[in-house]
Amino acid sequence: MDWEFFIELGLGGLTRGSIYALIAIGYTMVYGIIELINFAHGEIYMLGAFTGLIVAGVMGIYGFPAFAILLMAIVIAILYCAAYGYTMEKVAYKPLRGAARLSPLISAIGMSLFLQNYIILAQTSDFLPFPTLIPDFEFMEPIAHIFGSTDLVIVVASAVSMVALTLFIKFTKLGKAMRATAQNRKMAMLLGINADKIISTTFIIGSSLAALGGVLISTHSGQLNFMIGFIAGVKAFTAAVLGGIGSIPGAMLGGLFLGLTESYAAGYISSDYEDVFAFSLLVIFLIFRPSGILGKAPVEKV
Amino acid sequence: MQGLKQSIITSLWFMFLTFPIMVARVNTIENTVEWRWMNLAYVGVGVFFLSYVWRWALARKEAKQYEAPSTETAKKQSWLSRAMEEPAVARPALAALFALSVAMPMLVTTYQTNIFISFLLYVVLGLGLNIIVGVAGLLFLGHAAFYAIGAYSYALLNHYFGIGFWIALPLGGLFACLGGIMLAFPVLRLRGDYLAIVTLGFGEIIRLVLENWGSLTGGPSGISNIDRPGLFGMELSVADANIYIYYIVLALAIITMIAVQRLKNSRIGRALQALREDEIACQAMGIDRVNVKLMAFGLGTAWAGFAGVIFAAKTTFINPASFTFMESAIILSIVVLGGMGSNLGVILGSAFLVLMPEYLRAFSEYRMIIFAAAMVLMMVFRPQGLIAPKGRKYHVDDPDLIKEGEA
């Protein structure tokens, strides 16, 4: 057994898994509150990456230091994605509350296609190179060939934001209101919780995390195009399902699980079929354990 | 005044929202930025007026909800579906349409015949998907995979065994049908959103396998030099072969229309509709859920297989790039725009999606974004689609039964 290869794959899976977890949180939170698979969530991630690229491009010309650029790119991408998530909910999902079950889902698919084509028309359909924004840290030198500085930043940033989110949900008043709305929206409304506000907040938080993921992964992979959101979105959704959709710790766990599985399957079996493993895992989980690792099986009311 | 203020705020909000993406375009290689300030003005003005329309439409929709819904459904049918019900109008219209579609290849150029072939292919694909999505209410996002199964069946059989078009056509349909049933087995328990995602995943798996199994399928570069269908051993020129394929696909489209129409009113079709309305009640009435669902998938995907074989014969070259998720989404939007469950709707939907961008070249660039917006708007303002599907009316002639019903 080649231990170095094993560890390398594990660390690669960790990086990948943290990004999946970041995006999966958006899916799982929205699903927890309005029971909608927000198909366009992957596109928010893609928009975040593009906004980051534009900020980085503009600031790069004026010669700002890489660190400042990274920080600004992340902040502005988060700001804009939060705004996009908020607007998307108001335009495409809010008028559909109480409509038949399929309608919001089709509306979400429409939104996803809309955002993809918006990028094609306003920017480009080609692959664009993304500048490297994270400098090589000196203390990472000995293991840089298997776990670079970018990986470290991704893992740390994801971990920090997930801890922050967990604390927010657990200990703030807004977090409590969100949990209440997720459990029973009508009851929460009767108790004076503004459900519309809670739903908007959910979209804003999910989109912000997706934006963070978008910028970080683009600087890691060094390129982006309008399709990155689709694949990342489906994978993150897989992660959310693996962990148990509706559960935030589940999304984190599912993301890591999916990242590691993909990484090891690609390393030991075949990298051509990397995406096939992810989809097969999704199909297998949905068939045998649709409630996921941490989820509760839903009780069907007649 | 209130409206003006709202519109200005919305317009400013969207100007802020679209600012980075619409205005700046960076070139990270040459380190230049292109600023397109005019776009900001377009967005501002466009959103300003659209927000009026949006609010007006929302208000109209809300006002409708408070009207008595029972009287409305009776008289609120579009003129088109009313005309179709009148035999005196419908029969000559259908005959004229039929004559026109038969004469079509003589009237137009080869290029336009080609467009009509793809239009009819989408009609067949849409009608097939309509059985699954519209009639049975199962959201299915992997239709392109079965289209691919049909196309690859013919391409591979032809490439490796030299099997001709007419043998491959039923085989392609059969393989797609079997594929649909194979997919349906594991997903029987799933519904709604989960089903949609699994079918999407399945569609992507098929495409990825086609792309990566290079030794069999030729990988991303696909298979070329597929035979065109033969006509009694005659060698046809490309233009003639096109006309020939046009007639094949026209015949297939007509057969599909009749078959789907008959299916909807058959025992199976009624079971499917019952399943869509309420799965539990449906089982309580003694309908075998497993059988009916398998049938819905098998019947729907078989048409995609037929269409795939014809597609392969028409283009003589196929590769996995023709069968992406985008393709499934286009077929789904045909069904959704046309009106889920309505056959006439599917025809109008594919006409809108295929013919409009061809004839309005200026729009072709904006084609997908218009459809995507239409999908969202349709769901918000007219979830039943262009042509609302309606159930068949049953007449009771037996006076005793009528009395019983009234009692």
Is the pLDDT at B50 greater than 70, yes or no? yes
* Domains of chain B: total: 2
Q: Are residues B159 and B214 in the same domain?
A: yes
End-to-end CA distance of chain A: 54
Q: Are residues B293 and B335 in the same domain?
A: yes
Enumerate the domain spans of chain A.
10-288
Is the pLDDT at B70 greater than 60, yes or no? no
pLDDT-derived band at B71, boundaries 50, 70, 90: very low
Residues of B in contact with A128 (CB under 8 A): 28
**Those residues with Cβ within 8 angstroms of residue B75's Cβ, 6 or more apart along the chain or in another chain:** none
What is the maximal distance between C-alpha atoms in chain A? 64
Residues pairing with B33 in the sheet: B26
B76 found inside a domain = no
Q: Which of A137-146, A210-219, A242-251, B393-402 has the highest mean pLDDT?
A: A210-219
Is the pLDDT at B337 greater than 60, yes or no? yes
Chain A CB within 8 Å of residue B166 CB: no
Is the pLDDT at B74 greater than 50, yes or no? no
Q: Are residues B333 and B254 in the same domain?
A: yes
The predicted structure's pLDDT at residue B93:
77
Q: Phi and psi at residue A129, in whole multiples of 5°?
A: -75, 145
pLDDT-derived band at A78, boundaries 50, 70, 90: very high
| Averaged pLDDT score across all residues of chain B | 81
Residue in chain A nearest B328 by alpha carbon: A109
Q: Are residues B108 and B145 in the same domain?
A: yes
Q: Are residues B59 and B105 in the same domain?
A: no
**Those residues with Cβ within 8 angstroms of residue A277's Cβ, 6 or more apart along the chain or in another chain:** A261, A262, A265, A266, A269
CA distances from A283 to A141, A265, B219, B325, B326 (A): 40, 16, 24, 17, 20
With an 8 Å Cβ cutoff, are A230 and B325 in contact? yes
Q: Are residues B59 and B148 in the same domain?
A: no
> Residue B30 is inside which H or E element, if any?
none
pLDDT-derived band at A79, boundaries 50, 70, 90: very high
The predicted structure's pLDDT at residue A43:
92
CA distances from B67 to B63, B71, B183 (A): 7, 9, 44
Point out the residue among B20, B197, B380 whose CB comes nearest to the CB of A54. B20
Q: Phi and psi at residue B24, in whole multiples of 5°?
A: -95, 140
Q: Are residues B62 and B185 in the same domain?
A: no
CATH level 3 topology of A10-288: ABC transporter involved in vitamin B12 uptake, BtuC (1.10.3470)
> Residue B161 is inside which H or E element, if any?
helix B143-161
User: In chain B, what percentage of residues exceed pLDDT 90?
Assistant: 6
- CATH number, domain containing residue B127: 1.10.3470
Q: Which of B239, B246, B232, B231 is nearest to B103 (CA)?
A: B246
Residues of B in contact with A54 (CB under 8 A): 20-21, 24-26
Q: Which amino acid is at A177?
A: A
Cβ density class B135-146: b for 16+ within 10 Å, e for less: bbbbbbbbbbbb
Q: Are residues B144 and B55 in the same domain?
A: no
Residues of A in contact with B28 (CB under 8 A): 53, 56-57, 60, 128-131
Q: Which amino acid is at B62?
A: E
With an 8 Å Cβ cutoff, are A101 and B197 in contact? no
Q: Which of A195-199, A217-221, B23-27, B139-143 has the highest mean pLDDT?
A: A195-199
**Judging by beta carbons within 10 Å of its beta carbon (0-12, 13-18, 19+), is residue B213 exposed, middle or buried?**
middle
Query: How far apart are alpha carbons A109 and B337 in whole angstroms?
Result: 13
The predicted structure's pLDDT at residue B234:
65
Which residues span the domain enclosing B173?
90-381
Point out the residue among B18, B372, B380 whose CB comes nearest to the CB of A114. B372
ipTM field: 0.83
DSSP class per residue in B274-323:
HHHH-HHHHHHTT--HHHHHHHHHHHHHHHHHHHHHHHHHHHS-B-GGGG
Residue in chain A nearest B35 by alpha carbon: A58
With an 8 Å Cβ cutoff, are B198 and A241 in contact? no
Q: Are residues B156 and B217 in the same domain?
A: yes
The DSSP 8-state label assigned to residue B219 in this structure reads G
pLDDT-derived band at A295, boundaries 50, 70, 90: low
With an 8 Å Cβ cutoff, are A122 and B39 in contact? yes
Mean pLDDT of B173-197: 82
Q: Phi and psi at residue A224, in whole multiples of 5°?
A: -155, 155
Mean pLDDT of A129-137: 78
Tokens, residue A189: 């409304």
DSSP class per residue in B75-114:
H---HHHHHHH-HHHHHHHHHHHHHHHHHHHHHS-HHHHH
Higher confidence at residue B26 or residue A93?
A: A93
Tokens, residue B299: 């019947």
> Residue B231 is inside which H or E element, if any?
none
CB-CB contact of A208 with A47 (8 Å): no
Chain A CB within 8 Å of residue B146 CB: no
Query: How far apart are alpha carbons A79 and B208 in whole angstroms?
Result: 35
The predicted structure's pLDDT at residue B232:
66
Q: Are residues B269 and B341 in the same domain?
A: yes
Q: Which of A242, A218, A183 is nearest to A21 (CA)?
A: A242
B193 found inside a domain = yes
Distance from CA of A124 to the nearest CA of B (A): 9
Residues in chain B: 407
Distance from CA of A227 to the nearest CA of B (A): 11
Query: How far apart are alpha carbons A50 and A56 in whole angstroms?
Result: 10
Q: How many CB atoms lie within 10 A of CB B301?
A: 32
Interface of B with A in 289-348 (CB under 8 A): 325-326, 329, 332-333, 336
